Amino acid sequence: MTTARRIEGFRKQALEVGRNRLLVTGIVLTLAFAVIGARLVDLTVFKGGGEPQLAIIDHTPGAPADRADIVDRNGILLATSLPTASLFADPKVVLNARDAADKLMTVLPRLDHRELLTKLASDSRFIWISRNLTPKQQYKVNRLGLPGFGFQHGERRVYPHGRLASHILGMTDVDGRGVSGLEKYFDRPLRVGDKIEVALDIRIQEILHRELTGAMREFRAIGAAGVVLDANSGEVVSMVSLPDFDPNDPGPAGGEPAFNRATKGVYEMGSIFKLFTAAMALDSGTVNMDGGYDASEPIHVSRFTIRDFHAKNRWLSVPEIIVYSSNIGAAKMALDVGTKAQRTYLGRFGLLKAAAVELPEVGRPLTPHRWRDINTMTISYGHGIAVTPLQMASGVAALVNGGLYVPPTLLKRDDREAIETKRVLSTGTSEKMRHLMRLAVKNGTGRKAAVEGYAIGGKTGTADKLSVRGYRKDAMISSFVGAFPIHAPRYILLVMVDEPEGNARTFNYATGGWVAAPAVGHVVQRMAPLLGMPPVRRIAEEKEKTTFTARKHSAPPGKTIIKVKTGARIHKVNGESESQMLKKVRAVLGAPERNRGTEDAGPPEQALATY
C-alpha cells in the first residue's frame, strides 16, 4: 500500500513537471511568434515596403542634409539636391564574395569586377561599393537578396543646366560639401538650408556661352572668357569661362577646364587700357578733348620701341588716340599724367587688387615691382599690367556710369538695398568717355561690334601673350569691352579670346576688332530684346554743331598745315603753334571757342579731329 502511494506520487510529480514545461515552451513560442508577427506588420503596413529591404543606416556624423537650392535672378533652378542611396558592405557577413560580386556586376556593370572582389574578400567591416545609386538601381540590388549589404541614404547635388554655369556654381564632393565656386563660398549657409539667389540670368548665360563657343571654334582658340555686368548695380548678369566642365560628372572636372578665366586668370588686356589713360588725363585736367599728341614718330626708350599698329604718322587729337588706338599717343598722355597719378587712378578703378567677389577662385593682378616711366608708358596701352576680365569690366563700368565704382557681385541685389559706391571720376569726364567709346565703334577699331538698332560704345584690345620666357609673337589675347546703350549705359559686355588664329574671313587677322568685337555685337542683338530693350530704327546721337574732317599735311619747319573739309569746300589752315592753328580752324568753321566738333562719316582711313 505504501509502495502504491509512492508510485502514484511520482506519477503526479512527473505530470506536473511535464505540464509546466509545456506551458513554458508554449509561452516562449507564443512570444516568439508575437515578435515575428509584430515585425512583419511593421515592415508590411507601417514601412509600406512592397519591395525587399536591406539594412538602412542613417546619415553619418557631419554628412550634409537638405542642402539648399541655388536659383538665378528669375527664380530658375541652377543647383538642387535629390535623395539618393549609396551601397556598402560588411565583408565579414558576405557569405560568398565571388558569387556576390558576379551578381552585383549584373546590376552595376560599371563596377570593376576585380576591385569589387578584392573588397568583398577583405577583412574590413565596412566598404563602399557604389555611391549615389538611382532608385531603380537600388531596387535591383535589393532584389538580389545578398546578405552583408546595406544602403546609406543621402543626397546628390544636381545641376539642371549642366556645364552652362559650371565656373560660377562650382560643385560638391561625394559627401555633399562644396569644393569650388558658389558651392564652396556659401557652403555653410547652403548646408543649413539658406537658399542662394544669384544675379545670373541663365538666358543671357546661354547666349554668351554659345557665342564664345562659336568664337573659339572659328578661330581655333585655346580658351575664352566673357562677362555681362550691370553698369549701375555691379551685378554679374552672365559670366562664362571656356573650356568648362559638367558639375554633374565631377570625374573629369580638373585641370584646364576647372580654371576660371573670368575671375582667376589675369591677362594683359592691351588697348582697352587706353580708356583708363584717357579718363585719368581728362579728369585730372592734364589734357582736354581739344588737345592731343604728336604721334608721327615711334618712341624709343632704352632698348624698347613703342609703335602704332594703325600708324597715322601725325599729330593726333585725344579722340583720335582712342579711335585709332594709338600707343604713342597714349604713352605720351600717361607721362603727362604722371606715374603717381596713374597708380592712384588705377587703384580707384579696382585694378590693383583682387576683386572682392563671392568666389574662392579670384586672381590677384600683376603689376610692376618698380613702377618706372617705362612702366607708366606701357601700362597706358595695356602692357606690363595683368588683370582679370571681371576687373576690367567693373573698371569700365565706372568710366561710363557717371564715374562711380561699384564692387561687382554674383548675388542679386535687393531693389531697396543701398549700394556702396565710390566716386572715381567726375560726371563730366564720364560723359566724355561715353562719347569716345561711341566714336571707337562708329569709326574706329571697334566697328564690327556695331549692330543695327542699338548704340554700342567700346574699345578693342590686342596684346601679345606673356609667357615665362617673355612675350610670344605667335600668340595673343584678343578682347573687346562694350557698353550699351552708350548714352545711358545699362550693361557692360566683355569678350576675351585666348590665342585665336586668323582665317580667310578675317584676312588672317586675329585682333580684338576681328575676333571679339563681333561677338559682343551678337550678344547685344540677342540679349537686348529679352530684357525689354527693342531695337530702334534710328539711333539718336549726340547733336554736334559742326562735322568736318581734318588731315595734317607736310609743312615748312615750324609750320603746321591742315586741310579742313566742310561740306564740299576745303580750307587750308596753317599756324606756328597748336593753339594758333585751332583758333584758325574754329574761325573757318564759325565755331564758338568751346565748341567740340564731331566725327567724320567717311572711311576710317581719314583722320578724325575734334576741336
Burial 303-325 (b: 16+ CB within 10 A, else e): eeebebeeebebbbbbbbbbbbb
What is d(CA 427, CA 488) in angstroms, rounded to the nearest whole number? 12
* 489 upstream amide cis, omega within 30 of 0: no
- Nearest Cα to 322, choosing from 345, 349, 348, 291? 291
DSSP string covering 376-418: HHHHHTT-S-BB-HHHHHHHHHHHHTTSEE---BSBPPPTTSP
Strand bridging mode 70-71 / 196-197: parallel
Query: Which of 532, 534, 533, 531 shows the shortest CA–CA distance to 237?
Result: 531
> Residue 46 has what DSSP assignment?
I
Active-site residues, by number, are 271
Bridge partner list, 202: none
The shares of helix, strand and coil residues in the chain, as percent rounded to the nearest 5, are: 35, 20, 40
Query: Which amino acid is located at 152 in the chain?
Result: Q
Query: Which of helix, strand or coil describes residue 253?
Result: coil
Q: Scanning the structure block, which residue is given the C-alpha cell 552708350?
A: 486
- Cβ atoms of 457 and 440 within 8 Å: the answer is yes
